[in-house]
Amino acid sequence: MKKRIYYTKPSITEREVELATDAARNGWGDRCYEYINRFEEMFRDYTGAKYAIATSSCTGALHMGMAALDIGPGDEVILADTNWIATAAPITYLGAKPVFVDILPDTWCIDPEKIEEVITTKTKAIIAVHLYGNLCEMDRLLEIGKKYGITVIEDSAEALGSYWQGKHTGTIGKFGTFSFHGTKTMTTGEGGMFITNDENLYEKVLTLSNHGRSRAQKKQFWPDMIGYKYKMSNIQAAIGCAQLERIDELVSRKREIFHLYKKELGNIDCIHMNPQKEGTINSYWMPTVVFDKETGVTREELLMMFSQENIDARVFFWPLSAMEMFESMTNNKNSWDIPGRAINIPAYHELTKPEVERVVGILNTVLKKPVIK
């Protein structure tokens, strides 16, 4: 059997092992926050954000950020229908309602023109999810937010290393969140980050992240409010520090792999990949191919052929409104149509050129098959 090609996996070197070992052996007592503090400082430096809080997940970072904005029962939050549920779930934790709108056909991010159609007096926020490293139309989203007095939030879980008009994702809206899951460009195993340039919001989220204990509170074990437990461990942060030491290399390699695919597939008119629009830099976390309808290529056919060749592939996100826990929104045409003719393709640090060629070979084979009408 041919060697398996994974769709993604982390790049771990002896440096990550060294720092994690030090945290496990020595990171206790007075040193219990040492790597956490260092990780947050390094992340601020990398993104240009004023404030950063390391968290146990991006989901937790979103939850606390929205809680700090006083989003609650009866409120509505607008987001794209094409998303992983981790973006929508924290809205429901707060008793608010996620409102799904369609995506743009090229970036697969939220369609700004659809947002104004669903704004009500209950709308409190818009979440801009930079899908697969692609950039949302932030100028339009900020314009809409200002017009209606609605907060714009960035879910940058998949967009570490992506930039919009010279600004790193997550620094453009009211706050931004990131994921360091093992599938991401950099990892801490599980983990996330909350960033903002708003001092008051930072202080509130910092308090919420530690069971509601304000850092100004002098009484031991005296919380000032009901909070959460979304802190990152010192050992995880140590791995994160080592990964951030290599972040330029990690992001650069993602871009190299994407361009290897683009070189092979870019001249095929019926295949569309992650775009990089003027004024943006795409980190290309997850290279994705979308086939034109006319090709007749289907997700199921792609998955079967990849499996036969011992290659992992990932489905394009299903529309959240297709799931039983939410109201069906079949009028979100792109969100419902694109996943059926799209696929995420392998992209990890050690992926070789011959392995890229194996993946491309399958895509070419699929295109050469006769279309059954």
φ and ψ of 350, to 5 deg: -90, 5
With a cut of 90, say whether residue 369 has pLDDT above it.
Answer: no
Confidence of residue 197 (pLDDT cuts 50, 70, 90): very high
Task: Report d(CA 77, CA 94) in Å as an integer.
Answer: 11
Task: Report d(CA 141, CA 130) in Å as an integer.
Answer: 12
Q: Mean pLDDT throughout 159-166?
A: 98
Sign, CA dihedral 107-113-118-124, equals positive
In the prediction, which pLDDT does 368 show? 82
In the prediction, which pLDDT does 373 show? 44
Confidence of residue 370 (pLDDT cuts 50, 70, 90): low
**Domain 14-101+108-245: assigned CATH number:** 3.40.640.10
With a cut of 50, say whether residue 372 has pLDDT above it.
Answer: no
Confidence of residue 331 (pLDDT cuts 50, 70, 90): very high
Q: Mean pLDDT throughout 20-37?
A: 97
In the prediction, which pLDDT does 176 show? 98
In the prediction, which pLDDT does 183 show? 96
Q: In sequence order, which residues have a C-beta less than 8 Å from that of residue 130 and are 6 or more positions away?
A: 109, 136, 154, 155, 156, 158, 159, 162, 169
With a cut of 90, say whether residue 155 has pLDDT above it.
Answer: yes
Confirm if 335 and 319 have CB atoms less than 8 A apart. yes
Query: What Cα–Cα distance (Å) separates residue 59 from each residue in 89, 102, 194, 286?
Result: 8, 22, 10, 19
Q: Which tens digits make up the pLDDT trace of 86-137?
A: 999 999 999 999 999 999 999 999 999 999 999 999 999 999 999 999 999 9
Confidence of residue 84 (pLDDT cuts 50, 70, 90): very high
Q: Is 312 exposed, middle or buried (0-12, 13-18, 19+ CB in 10 A)?
A: middle
Which residue ranges make up each domain of the chain? Answer: 14-101+108-245, 247-368
The token duo for 284 is 């290309």
**Residue 29 gets which letter from DSSP?**
G
**Region class of 161: left (phi > 0), else alpha (psi between -120 and 50), else beta:** left
The token duo for 49 is 């954000």
Domain 247-368 fold: Aspartate Aminotransferase, domain 1 (3.90.1150)
In the prediction, which pLDDT does 266 show? 83
In the prediction, which pLDDT does 242 show? 98
Q: What is the mean pLDDT of the chain?
A: 96
Please give the residue that has the higher pLDDT: either 54 or 368.
54
φ and ψ of 136, to 5 deg: -70, 160
In the prediction, which pLDDT does 371 show? 47
Residue-wise burial string across 65-87, b where 16 or more C-beta atoms lie within 10 A, e elsewhere: bbbbbebeeebbbbbbbbbbbbb
Q: Mean pLDDT throughout 315-332?
A: 97
How many Cα atoms within 13 Å fall on the side-chain side of residue 194? 29
Q: What is the dihedral of CA 288, 293, 296, 301, to 10 degrees?
A: 30
Confidence of residue 267 (pLDDT cuts 50, 70, 90): confident
Please give the single-letter amino acid code of residue 164.
W
Rg of the Cα atoms in the chain: 21
Q: Mean pLDDT throughout 63-79?
A: 98
Task: Report d(CA 172, CA 126) in Å as an integer.
Answer: 13
Task: Report d(CA 186, CA 328) in Å as an integer.
Answer: 35
